[in-house]
Chain A
């Protein structure tokens, strides 16, 4: 279809690129009362961008051949009102090898998903728990082409399994959500990892506090909590915000801003992860980008549009989504692991708080890095050992300040969706414990 779309605009525009994405998702959920819901969804989306008279126009549609004239007509209309921009589309280049599809995941049917969800359900089930599990697989394709000769396609698959576990009658913690995902079907060890994580989060009794913990304490964030904690850092390194906007890191390329133990990369070439891809949605070849190198700001992410506005090359981080203009986004975020295992980090912490998961609440500002995050899964640690679960914990402070001087970085880097993150020990954070 890409060829037909580009042919339809040939000679009428200075340049054009097009993208077609298809997806076929099958998902199955087992409710706590045993009800199974099976759903399938087939989607197809086409995106067209044209450069005409120095202006850029965008359109998107459902991607059928019959819709090509409408897609083209709307892109032309959009260009007449669009942004004036010197946008240079990429030329063909060697495409890196990256695993994005597993035949097993692509072939999984409802019975196989039912088996996965049921296995996890049985492993998590306890008399005092309400457990809901789900399993999902999707298979699809991405094709991107432009008027300068790029024409690339790749197949993708994604599979995941997860659970929402509620502990009945123990305090007021919210349901505990865990999941594992990748391009292949989850393995038994991965599911056992989820079971262990749920046990680790739910099993400790509520801490017996004779007095409230101090308001400023060292805090050890487990990988799932790190994923939430780093949201302001992700925003500060990405797109318009980083290159032209009000990111606190703007203009600090090469400066030592953070602790030397912190290194962050964006890695689209990691095999079989949710953000893995050989080429971005603009047709720019994917490559690993160092964002923070031993505490120094090493790079920012751009797509063709933001790159043109900021007069820097695209890093291959363009994404297109239905009913929205192109956007810049990360692929797979990796924080490089440190030398200490979790037990060592807890020992180094002395008396402090271990947080397994954080919730991005109403009180946080992703731009300034000021946060007020609820920590429903927080534990009091003394002498390197978990003493009990804490309820009503709020973590507040500034993410950028906290990352300036770390207590340590763990060796336990774990994939959580499209991020591979280790535990991080923060030297001191403001902790408010209501109960």
Chain B
């Protein structure tokens, strides 16, 4: 493949050409209640050629298969010359490097028979049903994926990488006396099935408990509260409220970038993104432009100090590339995207954060976190009231709404219990597509936060 890619690059007439080929093998088993609904396999190969020349913009050509790699390279060059009133593309320099980490993966999911994966999914479904007699309906999806990537550029960079990951997604519907509630969750980890999907049994129990707990949870009363966010909810907030606004010039989304030097939170808030964190699903040796990833601090003690860059946005901002150019699809162009976003830990424990709160709300996980303009809405997966410094009865329908920056300004304590969250989160962002992301955070406390009306 290396020779074929460089041969195609050699035929390109563009000033800069980049060729990426990716092959994705995947299997998925869906069990609805106790019945297997599908056990399917898929394999897709394709990629993208991207070109620019002095005085031209980008031209992109996506393709399926790998039969003729010079054709998309030539087409991308033609497209880079098409159109009118072009702005020339300038790329920040990166060291030319060669990297091959595609040796046999030790625990290859492709080696595990589909019948075994089916048994694994059926076991999880049985475990979920057995958790509580009130679990009326369940859905378990077990999925694995092996992705092999080849990347070559006309500057001489070469990358070949294989990565595998496995995961499970679980839905439980609980029913009692005509009252129906549901809960869901997921887990995704790098590697294979040797140890099952690590954390999947704990996930099943957590989802079952949450769906049953919601049967007796009362809708939250809207108002302003001191809130404590668990690691999952904190991570979702940090990803959406900070890292999304730390990416310059993303087409179709987030035109407002946090300006360098701006204070957006208290001293205890330090946020970054680390594509080099070991073993996480969004980690990698380099980004989709061949830039080595590096841990990037975005907010240091409450002040914006950095952005996540591709080569193009780095050149425009006179910064160094950070290795965050990620493609949102097989044939997509790379754009600056978050990978493993984190809130650095502070001090103390959850109990320390709860202490002194006479009436508040504890948010568990995030079902969704979305922003529009300068507003953000975070819908919690679960919640409990905090009464006199202790976790109390479950409540449902908890949703934080408010201005992005005012919300960060309400942070008043960060705990010292940092952990990465292995739920299978994905970030969808307009034309830039969908990428896997991970978040890491400790517990977080915010004061005087508006909690919306109950939606259950």
User: Would you call A59 and B374 a contact (CB within 8 A)?
Assistant: no
Q: Is the CB of A62 within 8 A of B40?
A: no
Q: Which chain A residue lies CB-closest to B249?
A: A31
Contact between B373 and A114, CB atoms less than 8 A apart: no
Inside 8 A of B28's CB, which chain A residues have their CB?
323-325
Beta-carbon contacts of B67-86 to A below 8 Å, as 1s and 0s? 10000100110011011111
A82 located at the interface, meaning its Cβ lies under 8 Å from any Cβ of chain B in the complex? yes
Known: A38-B59, A62-B65, A396-B455. Contact between A325 and B38, CB under 8 A?
yes
Is the pair A374, B375 in contact by a Cβ cutoff of 8 Å? yes
Give Cα distance in the complex from A173 to B369, angstroms.
Answer: 19
Inter-chain CA distance A31–B316, complex, in Å, is 15
Closest CB-CB distance, B312 to chain A, in whole Å? 10
User: For B375, what are the chain A residues with a Cβ–Cβ distance below 8 Å?
Assistant: 172, 374, 392
Residue of B nearest to A372 (CB): B455
Interface: B368 (CB within 8 A): yes
Q: How far is the CB of A85 from chain B (nearest CB, A)?
A: 9
A109, A240, A365 pick with most chain B CB within 10 angstroms: A365
Output the residue of A31, A40, A43, A111 with the most chain B CB within 10 A.
Answer: A40
Q: By the criterion CB–CB under 8 Å, are A36 and B83 in contact?
A: yes
Could you tell me the distance between the alpha carbons of A323 and B43 in the complex, rounded to whole angstroms? 7
Whether A39 pairs with B43 at a CB distance below 8 angstroms is: no
Contact A83 B37 (CB under 8 A): yes
A213 CB within 8 Å of chain B? no
Tell me if B255 and A166 are in contact (CB < 8 A). Answer: yes
CA gap between A175 and B256 in the complex, in Å: 11
Interface status of B104 (Cβ within 8 A of chain A): no
Contact A45 B64 (CB under 8 A): yes
In the complex, the answer to whether B84 meets A364 with C-beta atoms within 8 Å is no
Residue from B62, B370, B374 in contact with A40 in the complex, judged by beta carbons closer than 8 Å: B62
Most chain B CB inside 10 Å of its own CB: which residue of A43, A81, A83, A361: A81
Contact for B117 among A44, A81, A323, A372, CB less than 8 A: A81
Known: A325-B28, A374-B375. A41 touches B331 (CB 8 A): yes
A155: Cβ under 8 A from any B Cβ: no
Number of B residues, CB within 8 Å of A: 72
Give the complex CA separation of A367 and B184 in angstroms.
14
B44 within 8 A of A: yes
Return the contact of B44 from the options A42, A60, A172, A430 (Cβ within 8 A). A60
Q: Is B399's CB within 8 Å of the partner chain A?
A: yes
CA distance A372 to B182 in the complex (A): 18
Label chain A's interface by main secondary structure. mixed
Q: Which of A64-98 contact B (CB under 8 A)?
A: 64, 67, 70-71, 74-75, 77-78, 80-83
Contact across chains for B62 and A44 when beta carbons are under 8 A apart: no
Residues of A within 8 A of B39 (CB): 57-58, 78, 81-83
Provide the residues of chain B in CB contact with A374, threshold 8 Å: 372, 375, 377
B244 interface hit (Cβ, 8 Å): no
Q: Which residues of A contact B85 (CB under 8 A)?
A: 34, 36
A324 and B141 alpha carbons, distance in the complex (Å): 11
| 21-64 of chain B: CB within 8 A of chain A | 24, 26, 28-30, 32, 35-46, 48, 57-64
CB of B43 within 8 A of CB of A363, answer no
Contact check, B251 vs A81: say whether CB atoms are below 8 A apart. no
**Which residues from A are CB-within-8-Å of B239?**
none
Which of B82, B251, B373, B452 is A38 in contact with, Cβ under 8 Å? B82
Which residues from chain B contact A71 at a C-beta distance below 8 Å?
A: 43
Which of these, B44, B57, B114, contacts A77 with CB under 8 Å? B114
Interface residues of B in 148-181 (CB under 8 A from A): 173, 180
- Residue of A35, A114, A362, A365 near B377 (CB, 8 A) is A362
Q: Could you tell me the distance in whole angstroms from the C-beta of A361 to the nearest C-beta in chain B? A: 5
Contact A362 B41 (CB under 8 A): no
Are A42 and B57 interface neighbours, CB within 8 A? no
Do A62 and B44 touch across chains, with their CB atoms under 8 A apart? yes
Q: A124-135 vs B: 1/0 string, CB under 8 Å?
A: 000000101000
A359 contacts B by Cβ under 8 Å = yes
Is B304 an interface residue when CB atoms closer than 8 A count as contact?
Answer: no
Structural contact, B42 and A64, CB atoms closer than 8 A: no
- Tell me, yes or no, whether B252 is within 8 Å of chain A by CB: yes
The distance in angstroms between the C-alpha atoms of A179 and B338, with both chains bound, is 28
A361 x B36 contact (CB < 8 A): no
Which partner residue on chain A sits nearest B24 by CB separation? A323
Which one of A59, A60, A362, A367 lies within 8 Å of B369 (CB-CB)? A362
A396 touches B453 (CB 8 A): yes
CA distance A111 to B78 in the complex (A): 12
Asked whether A376 is an interface residue with its Cβ less than 8 Å from the other chain, the reply is yes
Give Cα distance in the complex from A77 to B64, angstroms.
24
B252 / chain A contacts, CB cutoff of 8 Å: 132, 164
Within 8 A of B (CB), among A156-199: 164, 166, 172-175
Answer yes or no: A61 CB below 8 A from chain B CBs.
yes
CA distance A28 to B86 in the complex (A): 12
Pairwise interchain contact A62-B64, C-beta atoms closer than 8 A? yes
Task: Indicate if the CB atoms of A325 and B373 lie closer than 8 Å.
Answer: no
- The proximity string for A residues 321-351 relative to B, scoring 1 for CB distances below 8 Å and 0 otherwise, is 0111110000000000000000000000000
Which residues of A are found within 8 Å of B173, using beta-carbon distances? 246
Who on chain B is nearest to A175 by CB? B255
Given A63, A110, A326, A367, which contacts B82 in the complex, CB threshold below 8 Å? A110
CA A81 – CA B63 in complex, angstroms? 32
State how many angstroms separate the Cβ of A427 from the closest Cβ of chain B.
Answer: 20
| Extra contacts besides A75-B41, A118-B84 (11): CB < 8 Å | A35-B86, A39-B333, A57-B40, A58-B38, A60-B44, A61-B42, A246-B180, A325-B30, A359-B372, A363-B455, A432-B453
Q: Could you write out 18 A-B pairs with CB less than 8 Å apart?
A: A33-B87, A40-B79, A41-B61, A56-B38, A64-B67, A74-B41, A77-B114, A110-B82, A114-B84, A164-B252, A246-B173, A323-B42, A325-B28, A325-B37, A361-B368, A372-B455, A376-B373, A396-B455
A residues with CB within 8 A of B = 28-29, 31, 33-45, 56-64, 67, 70-71, 74-75, 77-78, 80-83, 109-111, 114, 118, 130, 132, 164, 166, 172-175, 240, 246, 322-326, 359, 361-365, 367-368, 370-372, 374, 376, 392, 394, 396, 430, 432
